[in-house]
C-alpha cells in the first residue's frame, strides 16, 4: 500500500471496520478579531501641555532681518518650492500658519490626545484671565482643558488674534507656567481629571510639558533664584543629591536665567500631596545603557539630558528659537552650536559643557542670552529647536507634539500569553517567541534534546537567535519575494516578484505602491520593512519618520513553526523515490509567519534567513507597521501557520491502471501553504523544493499562487470585460466570497510529524490542499476548500449548508469551517472522508471518495447517505455541540465553536445484540470522532463572551462502507438494505445516522466528569481524576461528553493519541486575558493581566474513561501507581507550547516556566508501540 497523509487505520482496526462494513456579500455580524495578544496596557492619560507664545514687537519683522522693511504679507507658504517661505515673510504670519497647521491636524492631535493651556507675552493677547490668576485656579478660556472641538476652536481664535507689540518678558512666561502647575488642587486646575468639570482623582502619573517659543533674546527678568547651582546641596524628590561632576551641564551660579525656571519646574516636585499614582521613567530611560561616554567622561544615564528619570510630578521644557537672534550668541563665541539645529544635536560644545571644559556664561550681556534657550531645554530635559527657515517652525512644533505623544503612549508592560510556540523533530527543537516591550521583537531559538532528556543550544546556531542573524544581515541582500496584482490583458495577475521598489511596475503594481507611499516615503517605507534602520526612530531621536525597533524581526505570536527537511512522505508512487534521493541533502528549513509582514524561511542548521515572502493581502496595511504608534496599536499580518507537503504538479495520471501511466513522468515538488490568520483572508502557495534556488530572480516560479486578500479589499470590477476574461474574473470574485480568515493550525500526520494530512492525493489522483474556509468570509457559511496544486489550480468548494442561501439561517450567518481531519477508509493513500467543525458547533462530515469531484459533498444520513449535498441539498451535521452556563449547565442552548481538527479512530469495542432471540456479540464498528469546543480569535473571546461552558465530545459515526470497482479500490457508503454488498449489515448496524441532540442535554451521549477537587498538588502542579466509571452501552449510547471544569476552559489545540493507544492527550486552556482596566478611563493603574492557564487531560477516546494504567506521577517519586498517585489523569501544566518526547522508558513533557524549563515525566503504555520516538503536541 502506498504511504498516505490522511489518517488511516492500523490493520487490526481496519479488520474491525471491515467486519462492520464488508463482511456480510451580505449583512452579518462579523467577528471582531483581536490584533494583539492580551497583556498589560496602561490606560491612556492625556498630558498637560502649556504653550507660551512670543507676541513681542519683533514678531512683526522679516524672517531674515531685525526689521520689517520690505516684508511680504503672505499668510501661507510662498517660497519657490512647495511648503516653503520666502525670507522676507513676516514672522507672525509664519507662526500663525504653523500653529494652525499643527493644531488643526486631527490625525496628529485627535480630540482628547492632549490637554492644552496657552499664554502670550503681552497682555495675554487680550484673552480674558491668565492661566494662573490669583491663588485658586480659574476656568478661563485659555486655562488647561481637554483638547476637544471647542477648546481647539478657542485656541485657533487666540492664534488668529495674535498681534506683535511690546517687549520680550520671557521669564514671566516660565514663572507663570511653573506657578500654574503648583496651584492648589481644584476642579478648574491643571491636575483635575476633567478641568472645569470634575476634580478628583488628581493623577500623579500625568505628564506635563511647557513649549516656549520666542524670536529673540529676553529682556526684563523675574528671578526665581539660582535653582541650578550644584553647590547648594539640593536633593531631588527621589533623594538624589544634585552635586558633583556629573551635574556640570546643568549648573550655573546666576539667578536671572530661564534655565533656573526650567530646572525648578523639572527638579522641584510640582505637587507633594493629593495626587493619585506616580509618573514612571520613560522606557527609553529604562532601556538606555547605564553610562554614555560624552566629552571623555562616563556620564550616568540619570544625568544624561537625553533621558528623563523623574518619578515625581514635574514639567519638561521645550524651547524654540525663531530667528537668528534666538540661536546666535556673539557675546560667547567659544561656545559652538551643534551641527543639527531642529532640534539641537549633541555635538559642538555640548561635550565640553558636560565635562566642564566650558561653562554657561552670565546672561548680563544681551548678546549671550540666546544660550539661555538651549540651557533651559537641557535643564528641563527637553530639546531646543533653532529655526532658520519659515517651514522649519511648523516642523519644530510638529516634532515636539509627536515626541510628547510618544512619551505618553501607554506602557505595554508584560504579556499575559506565553509568547512562544515550538516545533520538534529528530534533529532539534525550535521555539518562537516575542517581546512586546522591546518594540514587538520576535525570534526563534534552536536547541537539541540530548539522550538524557536535557536540552542544549543548537551547535550550528552559535548561541544566536534568528533575530540576531537578521539584524546582522544587510537589508538589501535579503531574498524577500511578494506578489504583484498587476493584471495582463487576460486578467491574469503578474504573480511572484521581488519585494523591492521601482518607479515602474517591475515589482509591485502601481496600486500596491500607493498603499506604501504615504508622505512620498514609499521607497523608504518598503526598505524599512526589508530591514533598513536608517530612518527609524531611536531612544534619543524622535524626528525620523518610522517607528523604533529593537530588532528587524517582528513578533511571532500565533504562527507555529514548521520544519521541512529531506522529503519524508515515503509515497510508493512513481518517481517519488527518485525525488527523495535527489533532495536527501537539501538544506533543512523552518518556516513561520511573522507580524513584520512576511513569512520567514530560516535555515534549521544555523538560523540564517534564506527566504521571506510578503503576501498580497498583507500589503494594503503594511504602512501601519512603520507608524511610530504601531508599538501600541499592534496588528497581525502573517499570523497563520504554514505547512509543507510533497506533491506531483505534473497533472498526469498517477493511477497505474491508466493507459498513459507508463509514459508519464511526474513532476514532484515540495509546496508550502501559508495563511494570514487575523491579518487577512485566504492563503498562498510557495514552491520550497530546493532552498538553493531561493533567489529574487526565481520569484515567478517560487511564488505559485496567492489568494490572500486584505479585509477591506473590494471585489474586482468585471463589468468592462468580456468573454473568457470576464468569466474568469466573475468566477474568482464568486469563489472569494467563501474564503475567510483561516486560523486553523496544520493537521499533522499521526505517524509522521514532518507531514500534514491536509496536502494529499485526492481520489481523482490530483494533488490538493484541503482547508476549512475560516471566518468572516462574505458568505459567512461553512465551506470545505479543496485547492488543487497541480497545473490546473482550480478551487473546489464543498458547501456544508448546501443550497441554503447565505445569511438566511443560523448556520449561514457568522459561520465558517475550521481545520479538517481527512480519513483514508481503505488505506490506499487517498482520503475518503473529511470531518470538520464550524463556528456554530456543527461537526460536519464530507464524502470525497468518488473519482469525480463533482460528486463530492457534505454527507447525508439514513437512506440518502449514499448521496452528497454540495449545491442542491441542505447538509445535516453529524452532531451539533451546545453548552450551558455555569449557572445553568444543563440548559445547553449556547453554540459551542469548534476550532481544532477532530481526532478519529475506528471503534474497537464490542456490543451484544439479540437476533431471533439469540444473543450475539459483535464489533460496535464505525468510527469515534473526538473534538472539543472553544474559540480564541475575537477580542471578547478571552472573556468567553456568549460561549458558556466548553466541552470535550467523542461521538460515533456508525456509517458502514463497501468497496467498489473491479479491484475494490473505491469506497462507498452502505445505505440500501437491498444492496448485496451490504446484505445483513444494515440490519445489525443500522443506517448511517447523525447523533441526536436534545434541548436539555447531549442526547444519546454518556456524561463524564473531572473531580471537583484537587487530589494532590506539588511544585506548582495540581492533579485531578477523570471518571473511572463503567463503560458505554453501545446499544443505547453513541459516545460521551465531558464539560471542562474551569471557567473559560476550552480546547484550542488538536487532541492527539498517546503512545499508539486509545488515550487522548488533551491540552486545554483558559486563555490569557489582558488588564480589565477600561482604556477609556484615565488611570495610573494598568491592572493585572490574567495569564493563560493550561491543563493536560489523558482520556480514552472510546468511552471517556481514564487510562487503566497510571500515567502521571502525582507525588514525584518516579513511580506510577494507581493507588499512590490516586488515579490522577489530569494535571496543570505551564502555559504555552508543550513538547512531548518519548524516550526508551518514559515520555517527558517539556514546557517553559519562570526561571527556565519544566519537565514532567509520563509513563509509557504497557505495550511497545511502533511509533516515532517523539511527538510534537502543540
pLDDT level of residue 413 (50, 70, 90 thresholds) = very low
Residue pLDDT, tens place only, 55-81: 999 999 999 999 989 999 999 999 988
Question: Which range among 240-244, 576-580, 869-873, 1079-1083 shows the weakest confidence by mean pLDDT?
Answer: 869-873
User: Strand, helix or coil at 209?
Assistant: strand
Is there a contact between 779 and 738 (Cβ–Cβ < 8 Å)?
yes
The predicted structure's pLDDT at residue 424? 56
Distance CA 152, CA 962 (A): 78
- The kind and range of the H/E element at 612 are strand 609-614
* Cell matching residue 775: 471566518
Q: Given a cut of 70, is residue 630 above it in pLDDT?
A: yes
Q: Which residue has the cell 504497557?
A: 1166
Parallel, antiparallel, or unpaired: how do β-strands 420-425 and 145-146 relate? unpaired
Residue pLDDT, tens place only, 241-283: 999 999 999 999 898 999 999 999 999 999 999 999 999 998 7
The predicted structure's pLDDT at residue 11? 31
% of the chain exceeding 90 in pLDDT = 67
- Residues contacting residue 470 through CB under 8 Å, at least 6 positions apart: 478, 531, 551, 552, 553, 609
Is there a contact between 955 and 843 (Cβ–Cβ < 8 Å)?
yes
Radius of gyration from C-alpha coordinates of the chain: 35
User: Strand, helix or coil at 372?
Assistant: helix
Residue pLDDT, tens place only, 543-571: 899 999 999 999 999 999 999 999 999 99
Distances from the Cα of 12 to the Cα of 9, 19, 148, 692, 943, angstroms: 8, 11, 74, 44, 45
Distance CA 757, CA 742 (A): 17
Is there a contact between 270 and 237 (Cβ–Cβ < 8 Å)?
no
Distances from the Cα of 43 to the Cα of 21, 408, 409, 632, 1106, angstroms: 62, 10, 9, 11, 46
pLDDT level of residue 983 (50, 70, 90 thresholds) = confident
510: which strand partners?
Answer: none
Residue pLDDT, tens place only, 1015-1029: 999 988 999 999 877
The predicted structure's pLDDT at residue 134? 60
Written as one string, the DSSP assignment of 210-279 is EEEEESS---S------TT-TTS--B-TT--B--SGGGTTT--S-SS-HHHHHHHHHHS-S-SSS-BS--
Instruction: Give the residue among 857, 496, 561, 872 at the shortest CA–CA distance from 693.
Output: 496
Residue pLDDT, tens place only, 605-617: 999 999 999 999 9
* Residue-averaged pLDDT of the chain: 88
Residue pLDDT, tens place only, 467-526: 999 999 999 999 999 999 999 988 899 999 999 999 999 999 999 999 999 999 999 999
The predicted structure's pLDDT at residue 1075? 54
Distance CA 877, CA 369 (A): 83
Query: Across residues 910-916, what is the average pLDDT?
Result: 85
Q: How many other β-carbons are positioned within 10 Å of the β-carbon of residue 243?
A: 14
User: Strand, helix or coil at 1094?
Assistant: strand
Is there a contact between 772 and 782 (Cβ–Cβ < 8 Å)?
yes
Q: Given a cut of 60, is residue 9 above it in pLDDT?
A: no
Angle between the N-to-C axes of helices 91-103 and 390-407, in degrees from 0 to 180, rounded to the nearest 10 = 30
Q: What is the largest CA-CA distance in the chain?
A: 121
Angle at 887 between CA 885 and CA 892, to 5 degrees: 35
Distances from the Cα of 735 to the Cα of 134, 540, 799, angstroms: 71, 50, 12
Q: Given a cut of 90, is residue 107 above it in pLDDT?
A: no
Q: b/e map of 272-293 (b: 16 or more CB within 10 Å)?
A: eeebeeebeebbbbeebeeebe
Query: Across residues 10-37, what is the average pLDDT?
Result: 47
Is there a contact between 822 and 6 (Cβ–Cβ < 8 Å)?
yes
Q: Is the dihedral of CA 792, 785, 712, 43 positive or negative?
A: negative
Q: b/e map of 662-690 (b: 16 or more CB within 10 Å)?
A: eebebebbbbbbbbbbbbbbbbbbbbbbe
Side-chain half-sphere of 314: how many Cα atoms within 13 Å? Answer: 25
Q: b/e map of 55-85 (b: 16 or more CB within 10 Å)?
A: bbebbbbbbeeeeeeebeebeebeeeeeeeb
Backbone angles phi, psi at 341, to 5 degrees: -115, -25
Angle between the N-to-C axes of helices 170-181 and 258-267, in degrees from 0 to 180, rounded to the nearest 10 = 10
Parallel, antiparallel, or unpaired: how do β-strands 833-838 and 817-824 relate? antiparallel
* Cell matching residue 1099: 482520556
Q: State the DSSP code for 42.
A: P
Q: Given a cut of 60, is residue 5 above it in pLDDT?
A: no
Q: Given a cut of 80, is residue 347 above it in pLDDT?
A: yes
Residue pLDDT, tens place only, 1118-1177: 999 999 999 999 999 998 878 888 887 888 888 878 777 888 999 999 864 433 322 222
Query: Across residues 454-475, what is the average pLDDT?
Result: 93
Distance CA 1004, CA 1006 (A): 7
Q: b/e map of 216-240 (b: 16 or more CB within 10 Å)?
A: bbbeebeebebbbbbeeebebeeee
Instruction: Give the residue among 696, 676, 668, 667 at the shortest CA–CA distance from 557.
Output: 676
Angle between the N-to-C axes of helices 258-267 and 370-379, in degrees from 0 to 180, rounded to the nearest 10 = 10
Amino acid at each position: 500500500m502506498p504511504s498516505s497523509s490522511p489518517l488511516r487505520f492500523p490493520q487490526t482496526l481496519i479488520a474491525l471496520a471491515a467486519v462492520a462494513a464488508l463482511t456480510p456579500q451580505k449583512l452579518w455580524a462579523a467577528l471582531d478579531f483581536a490584533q494583539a495578544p492580551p497583556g498589560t496596557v496602561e490606560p491612556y492619560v492625556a498630558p498637560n501641555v502649556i504653550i507660551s507664545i512670543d507676541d513681542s514687537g519683533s514678531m512683526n519683522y522679516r524672517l531674515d532681518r531685525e526689521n520689517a522693511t520690505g516684508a511680504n504679507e503672505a499668510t501661507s507658504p510662498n517660497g519657490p518650492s512647495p511648503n516653503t517661505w520666502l525670507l522676507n515673510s513676516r514672522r507672525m504670519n509664519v507662526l500663525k500658519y504653523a500653529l494652525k497647521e499643527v493644531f488643526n491636524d486631527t490625525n496628529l492631535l485627535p480630540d482628547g490626545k492632549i490637554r492644552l493651556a496657552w499664554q502670550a507675552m503681552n497682555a495675554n493677547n487680550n484673552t480674558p484671565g491668565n492661566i494662573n490668576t490669583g491663588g485658586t485656579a480659574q476656568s478661563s478660556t485659555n486655562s488647561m482643558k481637554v483638547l476637544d472641538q471647542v477648546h481647539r476652536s478657542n485656541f485657533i481664535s487666540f492664534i488668529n488674534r495674535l498681534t506683535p507689540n511690546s517687549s520680550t518678558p520671557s521669564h514671566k512666561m516660565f514663572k507663570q507656567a511653573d506657578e500654574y502647575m503648583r496651584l492648589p488642587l481644584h476642579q478648574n486646575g491643571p491636575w483635575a481629571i476633567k478641568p472645569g468639570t470634575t476634580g478628583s482623582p488628581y493623577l500623579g502619573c500625568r505628564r506635563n510639558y511647557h513649549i516656549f517659543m520666542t524670536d529673540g533674546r529676553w529682556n526684563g527678568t523675574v528671578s526665581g533664584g539660582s535653582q541650578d547651582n550644584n553647590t547648594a546641596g539640593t536633593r531631588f524628590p527621589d533623594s538624589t543629591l544634585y552635586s558633583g561632576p556629573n551635574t556640570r551641564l546643568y549648573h550655573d551660579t546666576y539667578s536671572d536665567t530661564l534655565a533656573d525656571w526650567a530646572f525648578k519646574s523639572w527638579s522641584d516636585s510640582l505637587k507633594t500631596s493629593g495626587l493619585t499614582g506616580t509618573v514612571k521613567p520613560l522606557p527609553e530611560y529604562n532601556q538606555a545603557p547605564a553610562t554614555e561616554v560624552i566629552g571623555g567622561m562616563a556620564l550616568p544615564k540619570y544625568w544624561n539630558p537625553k533621558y528623563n528619570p523623574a518619578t515625581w510630578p514635574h514639567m519638561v521644557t521645550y524651547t524654540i528659537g525663531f530667528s537668528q537672534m534666538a540661536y546666535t550668541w556673539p557675546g560667547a563665541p567659544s561656545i559652538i552650536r551643534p551641527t543639527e539645529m531642529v532640534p539641537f544635536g549633541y555635538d559642538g560644545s555640548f561635550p565640553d559643557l558636560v565635562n566642564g571644559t566650558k561653562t554657561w556664561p552670565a546672561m548680563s550681556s544681551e548678546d549671550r542670552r540666546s544660550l539661555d534657550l538651549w540651557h533651559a531645554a537641557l535643564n528641563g530635559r527637553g530639546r531646543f529647536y533653532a529655526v532658520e527657515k519659515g517651514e522649519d517652525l511648523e516642523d519644530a512644533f510638529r516634532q515636539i507634539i509627536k515626541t510628547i505623544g510618544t512619551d505618553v503612549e501607554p506602557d505595554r508592560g508584560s504579556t499575559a500569553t506565553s509568547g512562544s510556540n515550538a516545533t520538534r523533530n529528530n534533529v532539534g527543537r525550535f521555539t518562537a517567541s516575542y517581546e512586546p516591550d522591546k518594540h514587538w521583537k520576535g525570534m526563534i531559538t534552536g536547541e537539541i534534546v540530548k539522550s538524557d532528556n536535557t536540552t542544549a543550544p543548537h551547535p550550528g546556531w552559535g548561541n544566536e537567535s534568528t533575530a540576531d542573524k537578521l539584524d546582522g544581515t544587510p537589508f538589501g541582500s535579503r531574498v524577500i519575494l511578494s506578489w504583484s496584482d498587476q493584471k495582463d490583458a487576460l486578467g491574469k495577475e503578474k504573480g511572484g516578484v521581488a519585494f523591492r521598489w521601482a518607479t515602474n511596475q517591475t515589482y509591485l503594481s502601481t496600486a500596491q505602491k500607493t498603499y506604501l507611499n504615504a508622505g512620498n516615503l514609499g521607497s523608504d517605507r518598503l526598505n524599512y520593512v526589508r530591514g533598513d534602520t536608517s530612518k527609524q526612530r531611536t531612544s534619543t531621536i524622535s524626528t525620523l519618520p518610522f517607528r523604533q525597533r529593537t530588532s528587524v524581526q517582528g513578533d511571532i505570536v500565533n504562527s507555529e513553526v514548521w520544519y521541512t527537511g529531506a522529503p519524508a512522505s515515503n509515497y510508493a508512487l512513481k518517481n517519488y523515490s527518485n525525488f527523495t534521493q535527489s533532495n536527501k541533502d537539501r538544506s533543512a528549513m523552518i518556516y513561520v509567519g511573522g507580524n513584520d509582514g512576511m513569512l520567514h524561511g530560516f535555515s534549521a542548521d544555523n538560523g540564517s534567513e534564506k527566504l521571506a515572502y510578503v503576501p498580497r493581502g498583507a500589503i494594503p496595511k503594511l504602512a501601519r507597521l512603520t507608524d511610530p504608534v504601531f508599538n501600541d496599536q499592534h496588528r497581525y499580518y502573517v499570523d497563520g501557520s504554514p505547512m509543507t507537503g510533497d506533491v506531483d504538479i505534473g497533472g498526469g495520471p498517477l493511477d497505474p491502471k491508466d493507459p498513459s501511466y507508463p509514459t508519464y513522468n511526474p513532476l514532484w515538488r515540495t509546496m508550502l501553504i501559508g495563511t494570514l490568520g487575523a491579518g487577512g483572508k485566504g492563503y498562498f502557495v510557495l514552491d520550497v523544493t530546493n532552498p538553493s534556488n531561493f533567489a529574487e530572480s526565481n520569484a515567478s516560479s517560487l511564488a505559485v499562487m496567492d489568494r490572500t486578500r486584505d479585509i477591506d479589499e473590494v471585489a474586482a470590477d468585471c463589468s468592462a470585460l468580456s468573454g473568457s476574461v470576464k468569466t474568469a474574473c466573475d468566477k474568482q470574485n464568486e469563489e472569494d466570497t467563501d474564503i475567510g480568515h483561516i486560523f486553523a493550525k496544520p493537521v499533522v500526520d499521526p505517524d509522521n510529524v514532518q507531514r500534514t494530512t491536509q496536502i494529499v492525493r485526492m481520489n481523482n489522483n490530483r494533488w490538493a490542499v484541503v482547508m476549512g474556509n475560516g471566518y468572516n468570509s462574505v458568505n459567512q457559511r461553512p465551506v470545505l476548500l479543496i485547492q488543487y496544486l497541480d497545473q490546473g489550480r482550480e478551487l473546489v468548494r464543498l458547501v456544508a449548508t448546501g443550497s441554503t442561501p447565505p445569511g438566511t439561517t443560523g448556520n449561514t450567518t457568522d459561520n465558517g469551517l475550521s481545520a479538517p481531519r481527512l480519513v483514508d477508509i481503505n488505506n490506499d493513500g487517498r482520503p475518503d472522508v473529511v470531518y470538520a467543525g464550524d463556528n456554530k458547533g456543527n461537526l460536519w462530515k464530507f464524502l470525497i471518495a468518488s473519482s469525480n469531484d463533482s460528486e463530492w459533498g457534505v454527507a447525508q444520513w439514513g437512506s440518502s447517505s449514499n448521496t452528497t449535498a454540495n449545491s442542491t441539498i441542505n447538509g445535516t451535521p453529524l452532531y451539533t455541540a451546545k453548552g450551558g452556563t455555569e449557572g445553568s449547565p444543563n440548559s445547553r442552548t449556547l453554540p459551542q465553536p469548534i476550532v481544532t481538527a477532530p481526532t478519529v479512530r475506528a471503534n474497537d469495542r464490542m456490543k451484544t445484540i439479540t437476533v431471533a432471540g439469540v444473543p450475539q456479540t459483535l464489533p460496535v464498528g464505525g468510527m469515534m470522532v473526538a473534538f472539543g469546543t472553544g474559540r480564541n480569535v475575537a477580542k471578547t473571546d478571552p472573556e468567553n463572551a456568549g460561549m458558556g461552558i466548553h466541552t470535550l465530545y467523542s461521538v460515533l459515526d456508525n456509517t458502514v462502507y463497501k468497496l467498489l470497482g473491479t479491484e475494490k479500490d473505491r469506497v462507498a457508503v452502505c445505505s440500501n438494505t437491498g444492496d448485496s454488498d451490504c446484505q445483513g449489515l444494515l440490519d445489525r448496524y443500522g443506517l448511517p445516522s447523525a447523533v441526536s441532540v436534545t434541548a436539555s442535554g447531549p442526547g444519546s451521549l454518556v456524561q463524564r466528569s473531572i473531580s471537583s477537587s484537587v487530589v494532590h498538588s506539588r511544585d506548582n502542579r495540581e492533579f485531578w481524576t477523570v471518571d473511572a466509571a463503567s463503560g458505554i452501552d453501545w446499544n443505547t449510547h453513541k459516545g460521551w461528553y465531558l464539560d471542562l471544569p474551569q471557567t473559560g476552559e476550552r480546547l484550542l489545540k488538536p487532541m492527539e493519541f498517546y503512545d499508539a493507544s486509545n488515550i487522548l492527550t488533551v491540552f486545554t486552556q483558559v486563555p490569557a486575558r489582558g488588564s480589565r482596566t477600561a482604556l477609556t478611563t484615565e488611570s495610573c493603574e494598568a491592572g493585572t493581566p490574567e495569564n493563560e492557564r493550561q491543563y493536560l487531560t489523558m482520556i480514552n477516546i472510546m468511552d471517556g474513561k481514564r487510562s487503566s494504567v497510571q500515567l502521571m506521577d502525582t507525588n514525584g517519586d518516579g513511580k506510577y501507581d494507581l493507588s499512590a498517585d490516586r488515579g490522577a489523569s489530569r494535571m496543570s501544566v505551564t502555559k504555552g507550547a508543550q513538547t512531548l518526547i518519548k524516550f526508551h522508558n518514559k515520555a517527558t513533557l517539556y514546557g517553559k516556566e519562570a526561571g527556565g524549563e519544566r519537565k514532567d515525566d509520563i509513563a509509557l503504555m504497557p505495550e511497545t508501540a511502533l511509533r516515532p520516538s517523539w511527538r510534537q503536541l502543540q
